[in-house]
Structure 1
Amino acid sequence: MSNKLNNYSKRYNELTIEVFGLFRDAIAKLIRSQVKIRFYYYYITLGTQVHQNVEMQANELKELVKRYYPSAEVQVSFITADQLLHMYNTDSEIMVNLDLVEQPISLSKNEYISLVKLGTYFKFITDDNQFLRKSFFEANVRDYQGHNSVNSCIAGTLEGDEAEDFWWLNNGVTILSTDIKLITNKSLQVVNPQIVNGLQTSREIYNYFSKRSDKHYEDNRTILVRVIQPKSEKSRDNIIFSTNNQTSIPKSSLRVTDTIHLQIEMYFKNRGLYYDRRKNYYKNQKKKAIDIISVSFLAQCLISLILRKPDFARARPSTLLTDEETYKHLYEDNLDLEVYYKAARIGRSVQNTLKKSMNIKNTEVNDILFYVIYAVVANELKKKKITFVDLKEFDLNKLTENTIIQIANKIYSKYTNLGGNSSIAKSKTFIDNIYLLFNLN
């Protein structure tokens, strides 16, 4: 408190010294008020782990501050890369009230079931300008699927004059929340709502009332709503999987909520590709199909290139992604996003060339596609095994259309000589023919 602030001008910038001055003045004026002082230090880094030496320094810092302010609370927090990413992609806490038709059914403060008027639900999922709150649907494994048969039926029910109430004909929606409060016996406060089941229903309700914004108060039809506060991340994933199970969402699709897939999506977006982490999201954003990379397609490219299993990529990629060891190897062990970007670029370039420049059927393109993706890289490297480092350093400029066609013609010729059908492409032995064709060891 007695040190001269100017003595620190070479160590700290002017703004920091000014803040020190403000703190010292405040403490001096409040010295008799016995105020509680709290010190919060944040060590922010792009690293992913905290070294034990840094933890020791944090403890030393707390001891030093405690020496001068014995009654103070001192905390040191480490903000890693994963936390920074989570903070960047997390909106400020959202609290929305949901009015209910009647007092909800509840066995605990963590779960409520009730009917909600359609117009009230429309208001819940829209902002003050009646735009859809897209952040409410971030936890979905797929986006709005457009006018398919199911959605057309939902829209038809909303448009029709059936004697049955809407909730009789619809499964309703499931909302997960970080906190739920019963404000009145007919009103809930939902914190950070995530609609994990019922996205298609929600979008159809939104579409219906967007054309009748002045009518939503008059509609007395209802929808069944479940609001749940999960006790853990595992519980959350179980709820998402189980409530979507009737629509044939593979268990592997739940992987898209992992941090790595969000990182891939952001990395791709800055480079002109759109990683469709939630199915149809970028299609609904009117992005070009050629620039959209699906989760399954990237996985198929990685399985072909890194695991050397084009037969699996062609036949059953989701099987490998549900295997913990394989998933860890492909996604968790590799921390370089450039690898995923190059795998996607290679895969899409090969796919486009085969469809545009090869006079063969679509079924034949699908049969040889992942073998060609593997071969164009392996042939350039002149070796059988492709590593993450190889893929990162691969020069995309060498991936010309002529190169792809030459390699594809060799593979297609061998494929047709052996019978030219999906059984050949799905066989475990066809990859051995690729090794021989290009002298790979």
Structure 2
Amino acid sequence: MNNQLRLINSTITRFQKENDLDDQFLFEIFSISQILKSKNIDFVDIENSIVDGGNDGGIDSVIVLVNDTNLNTIEELSELEINRKTELEIFIIQTKDSNSFKERVFDTLSLTFQDVFDYTKELEDLNSRYNHSLVDKIFLLREAIDQIMVTTDKVRINVVYASKGDTTQISNGVKNRAQLLVQTLKEKSSISNCEVLYYGANELRKIFIEPEETELILNYRDSFSSSFLDGSSVGYVLTVNLKDYFNFVTKDKTIRESIFENNVRHFQGSITVNKGINETLKNSEDIEFWWLNNGITILSPEIVPLPDNKLRLKNIQIVNGLQTTFCIYNHYKEKGIDTIDEKRSVLIKIIKTSDQTTMDKIIYSTNSQTMVRAADLRATDELQRNIENYFLSKGYYYDRRKNYYKNMNKDRSKIFNIAKTAQYIETLLFKRPNLARANPTSLLKTDENYSRIFSYDFNIDSYLKACLLHTKVSKFIKKIPLDSDIINIKYGASMKNLSFHLMLITAILYFKNYGFNDTDLANLDLDKIDQKLFNQSLLYLVQILDKLDDTRSIINIAKSSALTKEITNEFINKDKSDYEIIDNLTEMVTELIAVSLEERKDDL
């Protein structure tokens, strides 16, 4: 074994331990998380992107990003504002746990791409060749391309080939096949920006060990500072040259998206305010910019003054001024920053504080001067802070501010965010797994929905138990043998798309009560959610699917109300005695499933 292979295997072992992962899809999850490290994709989204598992057309994962926002469903596209600045980036990923790069990978992909971009191939045609998960991703990327290319050509397709091989030793045969694949892709998709990217042992390891960039240097012209009370909170007011600010918020002339995570809105495009900022940048070079603009607010837990009018800032978050920042970024990106002699400055407030309550008040106050819905500011709600503190008391992390705990290098398997928690509560307490699956962003779109799901009336432990139950059910799903006759090969490869439905049935069988509530959920004993109970739930779901006899894809069935209605009809009128009979009748079948799993454990 060469050193590259030895090091990458050690790195993957460390990654596995740090994130409490099992062996299934380990190399895929490791590779994808490194390749997309800068995109802030969480583990659940990575797992949802995986389409590997038979009839996958040589594709292991499909990631669709619109302005660096990951899309899981077509319905989520309707939530996005698409304009000429919108950017679509598609990653089609093949990972091979081998120590070389092979030509046949591109041969298989080339045939698959013929179908992916042949719009005459519709659902029935694709389902006859590919698994349901891949078919769902095909329709998602088609729809994203169609909607965005009507407005802009900022579309890019990355075909990624990752292995444990040495990228310096890739053969000419592999490179030639890749070039042919790119030609095919450009012809079939009508997208000119297509590229094959290689990641080998060295590249993946280096990304893994590369520290997150947490410190930035800001050059300024003039400053004023003041401390408050005991001096633990310090504020700076600066004027910063527009070019210096551009360089501060970019890396390799690309915007640093991570520093805007705590801003309540992303760039709003050509709204009236932004048109005014753009007009000022273009046509008001004879007057100071900060006289005409409200400026930027930055939070940082650590500020170190340096010589020559510089500040070193750690873990910064721009909480107000995103619209101004993006207008500045777009202006100088388009004109060419290196060719401009810029004399104007932007006004910046920098506040040093680590106190969460203070940070929340600053975020709320600096964003409530313009029209922002209360629902957009939900991360600052007292209930959200209470949930976060409760999770912390139990050794888990509630990411009410996206990527906050990831940036602190906390165990990713213990991090849960607001949106996914909402999905789990919608599934368990409101018994609507189809809505949770169909369009997760709509669950938090309105104040009414938000208040329904995040309520002071609910036992706070029910939020944590919902997250942990889904984690446990997802682990069981990964262990389902794809070729099990008992489970039914028709559904086996698609069960991850029905995780919410399985979670609901598992909870119903555990409580022996369809109408269990938040108090019941808070008292759930996760140690009693075992393989036997899961097998029983799985058997019920397969029987309900057979009874439903829906010819649509599993993806569409999961999003529809029909399956949820059948689950409701199956359990809503059962009493405790009915569940005792269920236990007796299914004992033999669940034992057979357990034997089936045991016989296949070496293949998992």
TM-score, normalised to structure 2's length? Answer: 0.37
Q: Rg: which structure is higher?
A: 1
